[in-house]
Amino acid sequence: MRRLLGSVRARATLAATLVVAVALVAAGAAVLISLRTNLIDVADAQAESQARKVAADLTAGLPYDQIDLPDGDEHPVQVVDERGRLVAVADGVEHISLVDTVPGPPVEGPATEGGRDDADDADDGDDDEDLPGAGEISDVRPSEGTATVDGETEDYRFAVVGVTTPHGVPLTVYAGAPLSAEQSAVGTAQTAMLIGLPALLLTVSGATYVVTRRALRPVEGIRAEMAAITASEDLSRRVPEPATHDEIARLARTTNETLAALESSVERQRRFVADASHELRSPIASLRTQLEVGAAHPELLDVEGAVEDTVRLQRLAADLLLLARLDAGERPQDARFDLAELVREETEGRDGVRLDGVTSVTVTGSRGQLARVLANLLDNARRHARERIDVALRAEGEWAVLEVADDGSGVPADQRERIFERFVRLDEARSRDDGGAGLGLAIARDVAAGHGGTLTVREAPRGGALFVLRLPLGRPPG
């Protein structure tokens, strides 16, 4: 059962079936209640009509044996006096039993003195001139009960009417209407519902299962392809995208976008490792050669060259470590400092550097990392500048803008994004000692992004490269 309910199709089918079942049961109950209420209202109307008809005869002063009573099979009727004595009854009626056998109080009308009944009044013909013109009828009160007619007991709806005859005699009329039609109709409706409900639920569950299976078929294709990609470790593969515009198609497109980003990230990581290994091999090999020569011929040991290779190796290792921390999402320190002071410290003692409009601005972040960014930009400008490097710092709205410009040959427009890639050197003829490993600008952009800023390059006013670093004056995003 747990494995069955683990399927989306099974859960969707079960949920749809339960919802439809509850809705059908509620609708069926409402229909039955409405049907029964309507049929009972019809029976009440029929019973009331018969009760008023008999009450009208009584108020007209007709003798009991001349009252027009209906056939007891259709409408059982009986008339009783205030002491419960039966004074008139329809043919075939043997017994009437009501749920509430106490009739409503009759309306007080003119009564003969001493409370004589109609039988006595019929003998006193000489007093006709003292009789009122007509009796009165009270309000009709509905009730429910049973009646035995010709030996058969059935359920009826009754109308109970209090009557006062012209002679002031209080009587009660009980007139019934059969509930057989209501019981038959309700029973037929219940039977139809009991038969139709399971069949309808089976149809709904089957249709839901089929539709859900067809709708989720692309999901199974996506799952199977993802399993194959995981097994083969081939990130160049993509999941099939349905030719629809629903959530599953969007899921497939998002999955493919994720795979593409993952492939790009893995490829970038592989290229990074390969390039790092290549860059590390050169200073290590040079250092080893010098040490081996020095060990064999101490007089030939190039100490200065060994120190330079060691320093270059140390810088490269530091760059790789910083890039690894940036890739891991390391947050910069939340320290507030004056960026202008940092600019003056980094530019002090550098030949050809001019400060052009450096104003005091306060930023938040890692002072060491931003110092590394400025140093990388200045080193890059020094390698390409002819005579001078201009450094400017100002505030623009909510941004601190730092500009480093040189008067060199500049960067071609189609290469302005490529220079921020790792291990990229546009001048491949330049030696590694002079040109570096190609990590400085990549580190600078990654640090800027980590501080919530940007680093771009464009043409400088003197024709060289102009690097623009933008940092938020507020707190950087986490």
Whether residues 68 and 16 fall in one domain: yes
Residue type, 447: V
| Candidate from 121-135, 246-260, 289-303 with smallest mean pLDDT | 121-135
Q: Is residue 238 domain-resident?
A: no
Number of domains in the chain: 3
Helices and strands in the chain: count of H runs, count of E runs: 10, 13
Whether residues 134 and 264 fall in one domain: no
2 in the Ramachandran plot: left (φ > 0), alpha (ψ -120 to 50) or beta?
A: alpha
Q: Are 197 and 21 in contact (CB under 8 A)?
A: yes
User: What pLDDT is attached to residue 266?
Assistant: 83
- Paired sense of beta strands 389-396 and 353-358, if any: parallel
Asked if the model's pLDDT at residue 250 lies above 60, the reply is yes
As a whole number of angstroms, the distance between CA 460 and CA 162 comes to 112
Q: Measured on CA atoms in the order 302, 305, 309, 314, is the torsion positive or negative? A: positive
Q: Are 369 and 339 in contact (CB under 8 A)?
A: no
Q: H/E element holding 284?
A: helix 247-296
pLDDT band of residue 110 (cuts 50, 70, 90) is very low
User: What pLDDT is attached to residue 249?
Assistant: 87
* pLDDT tens profile 396-409: 999 999 999 998 88
- Examine the fold and report which residue of 233, 258, 293 is the final residue of a domain before the chain moves on: 233
> Which CA distances in Å does 339 have to 43, 112, 404, 469?
96, 119, 14, 12
> pLDDT higher for 243 or 392?
392
As a whole number of angstroms, the distance between CA 163 and CA 141 comes to 12
Q: Is residue 241 domain-resident?
A: no
Q: Is residue 260 domain-resident?
A: yes
Rg (CA), the chain: 52
User: What pLDDT is attached to residue 427?
Assistant: 60
> pLDDT higher for 404 or 474?
404
Q: H/E element holding 463?
A: none
| Percent residues over pLDDT 90 in the chain | 26
Q: Are 315 and 439 in contact (CB under 8 A)?
A: no
Whether residues 289 and 340 fall in one domain: no
Q: Is residue 239 domain-resident?
A: no
Our CA dihedral for 418, 424, 428, 430, rounded to 10 degrees, sits at: 120
User: What pLDDT is attached to residue 208?
Assistant: 87
User: What pLDDT is attached to residue 328?
Assistant: 74
| Candidate from 68-72, 75-79, 398-402 with smallest mean pLDDT | 68-72
Average pLDDT of the segment spanning 186-200:
89
User: What pLDDT is attached to residue 458?
Assistant: 92
Our CA dihedral for 260, 265, 270, 275, rounded to 10 degrees, sits at: 120
> pLDDT higher for 333 or 42?
42
Residue type, 189: A
Asked if the model's pLDDT at residue 283 lies above 90, the reply is no
Q: Is residue 454 domain-resident?
A: yes
Mean pLDDT of the chain: 82
Looking at residue 244, what DSSP letter applies? S
> pLDDT higher for 99 or 162?
162
Q: Is residue 15 domain-resident?
A: yes
Asked if the model's pLDDT at residue 300 lies above 60, the reply is yes
Whether residues 306 and 339 fall in one domain: no
User: What pLDDT is attached to residue 209?
Assistant: 85
User: What pLDDT is attached to residue 74?
Assistant: 83
Domain span at residue 306?
A: 247-327
Whether residues 322 and 396 fall in one domain: no
As a whole number of angstroms, the distance between CA 441 and CA 380 comes to 8
pTM for this entry? 0.50
User: What pLDDT is attached to residue 301?
Assistant: 72
Ranges 66-80, 87-101, 311-325, 362-376, most confident:
362-376
- Sorted by sequence, the CB contacts under 8 Å of residue 367 that are 6+ apart come out as 333, 335, 337, 342
* pLDDT tens profile 229-242: 889 888 888 888 88
Question: What is the domain-level CATH number for residue 385?
Answer: 3.30.565.10
Within 337-439, residue ranges assigned H as helices are 339-347, 367-384, 432-435
| Candidate from 75-84, 274-283, 331-340 with smallest mean pLDDT | 274-283
Average pLDDT of the segment spanning 28-44:
90
Q: Is residue 151 domain-resident?
A: yes
What's the burial of 445, exposed, middle or buried (CB within 10 Å: 0-12/13-18/19+)?
A: buried
User: What pLDDT is attached to residue 118?
Assistant: 44
Ranges 231-240, 279-288, 312-321, most confident:
231-240
Question: What is the domain-level CATH number for residue 298?
Answer: 1.10.287.130
Looking at residue 397, what DSSP letter applies? T
Q: Are 370 and 451 in contact (CB under 8 A)?
A: yes
Whether residues 202 and 311 fall in one domain: no
As a whole number of angstroms, the distance between CA 167 and CA 121 comes to 7
User: What pLDDT is attached to residue 286?
Assistant: 79
Asked if the model's pLDDT at residue 430 lies above 50, the reply is no
pLDDT band of residue 116 (cuts 50, 70, 90) is very low
Looking at residue 106, what DSSP letter applies? P
Looking up tokens 């400025």 gives: 374
